[in-house]
Amino acid sequence: MRVAFFSTKSYDKISFARNADSYTHEFTFFEAKLDRHSAVLAEGHDAVCAFVNDQLDKQTLKSLKEVGVELIALRCAGYNQVDLDCARNLGISIVRVPAYSPEAVAEHAFALILTLSRKTHKAYNRVRENNYSIEGLTGINLHGKTVGVIGTGAIGKAFCRIALGFGCKVLAYDIYENEELKSLGVSYVTLDEIMQQSTILSLHCPLTPDTKHLINKNTLEKMQDGCMLINTSRGALIETKSVIRSLKNGKIGFLGIDVYEQEEDLFFQNRSEEILQDEQIARLMTFPNVLITGHQAFLTKEALDQIAKTTLDNLSAFEQGKVLENAVK
């Protein structure tokens, strides 16, 4: 198949080239984000390969259909950026990568926790400036802390295992309880209970109409004073304005995020020479107890290889008329 890649970075080209030898697909890589304006670039291709912040709205999908695109292969797990009803009506199939390296994201979530709890980011900057004072670097032990996990799919499950390894008491909330996790000592509780009892709360659920702004003014009020909130899932799970207020009044003691509600026109770009226009993320970065990374939790060699392999298999299955195991319905 002839495939147009959008939002392409160097690591995409490397990982797909590394895994493409046994496939016959032809690739065209575009750095541009896919939206209604750039969709015309897909002309002459059978499929497009899109990423998390590409805009697959009604107009974009119609434009893709007009230039002959039959398949959209998402090289990510989430699909909230796609107008699924429109895609179905147009006869465009959607496939995704439902799981690549759950450990990659889970480990990054814990990297945020460890960095915030021991202030290693601040220590790193001090030592580079020849400052070896440890004043103000007092941290907290993770052992014995109550860690809440919202969403126990593949990533949440991997995160729970890590938390248990640190000697944490692990609580979980999910509409589907995982019996294996329960046998390991994870306790499933209600959403209110996990908000109230968790010293550290980590989000690992998909973004749906039901989970949008899961962390909001009302749920924040239920959380412990000084708690740690971690989000490596989807930015819109958190209502940013409410979190900023909770940081100001001390309700949230630590915030670690790899995703952001308004990241679409910000993340995955080098904007170091520009004036930051997003006032909310600018405000977040003024807090000494906030750690932000730019949607890199997935970014490991192992995860990139699995994303490439699954995407290539998805393309081949469509080309050969096979059942699309990773179809988004």
The average confidence (pLDDT) of the chain is 96
pLDDT in tens, 31-46: 999 999 999 999 999 9
Residue 329 counted as domain residue: no
Name which residue leads in pLDDT, 151 or 329.
151
Q: Is residue 210 part of a domain?
A: yes
Q: Are residues 72 and 135 in the same domain?
A: no
pLDDT > 90? residue 77: no
117 lies in some domain? yes
Residues 167, 144 contacting (CB under 8 angstroms) = yes
Confidence class of residue 219 from pLDDT cuts 50, 70 and 90? very high
- Confirm whether 196 is domain-assigned: yes
Cα separations in angstroms, 61 against 71, 83, 84, 110, 309: 10, 8, 10, 37, 25
Residues 39-72: tens digit of each pLDDT = 999 999 999 999 998 999 999 999 999 999 999 9
What confidence score (pLDDT) does residue 110 get? Answer: 98
Is the predicted pLDDT of residue 329 greater than 90, yes or no? Answer: no
- Read off the CATH number of the domain in which 49 is found: 3.40.50.720
Whether 324 is covered by a domain: the verdict is: no
pTM: 0.90
User: Is 328 contained in some domain?
Assistant: no
> Which pair of structure tokens corresponds to residue 5?
């890649």
64 and 186 together in one domain:
no
Query: Is position 46 within any domain?
Result: yes
The predicted-structure confidence for 175-208, as pLDDT tens digits, reads as follows: 999 999 999 999 999 999 999 999 999 999 999 9
Q: According to the model, what pLDDT value does residue 265 have? A: 82
Same domain, 210 and 76: no
Same-domain pairing of 112 and 239: yes
Question: Tokens 């008491």 sit at which residue?
Answer: 169
**245 among known catalytic residues:** no
Residues 115 and 221 in one domain: yes
Give the percent of the chain with pLDDT over 90. Answer: 95
Q: Do residue 39 and residue 142 come from a single domain?
A: no
- Is 73 a residue whose pLDDT tops 90? yes
Residue 78: per-residue pLDDT: 85
**Are residues 174 and 119 part of one domain?**
yes
Q: Are residues 20 and 154 in the same domain?
A: no
Q: Tell whether 139 is covered by a domain.
A: yes
Q: Examine the domain organization and report whether 169 and 244 are in the same domain.
A: yes
Q: What is the mean pLDDT of residues 243-250?
A: 97
**pLDDT tens digits, 120-161:** 999 999 999 999 999 999 999 999 999 999 999 999 999 999
Are residue 76 and residue 133 in the same domain, yes or no?
no
Question: Does residue 128 sit in the same domain as residue 78?
Answer: no
What is the tally of structural domains in the chain?
2
Catalytic residue among 25, 103, 234, 261: 234
The answer to whether 221 is a known catalytic residue is: no
Where does the pLDDT of residue 104 fall: very low under 50, low under 70, confident under 90, or very high at 90 and above?
very high
Nearest to 294 by CA among 253, 262, 320, 327: 262
- Exactly one of 25, 75, 96, 295 is catalytic; name it: 295
Whether 234 sits among the annotated catalytic residues: the reply is yes
108 and 79 both lie in a single domain? no
Domain that holds residue 151: 102-292
Q: How high is the pLDDT of residue 99? A: 83
pLDDT at 264: 85
CA distance 39 to 275: 28
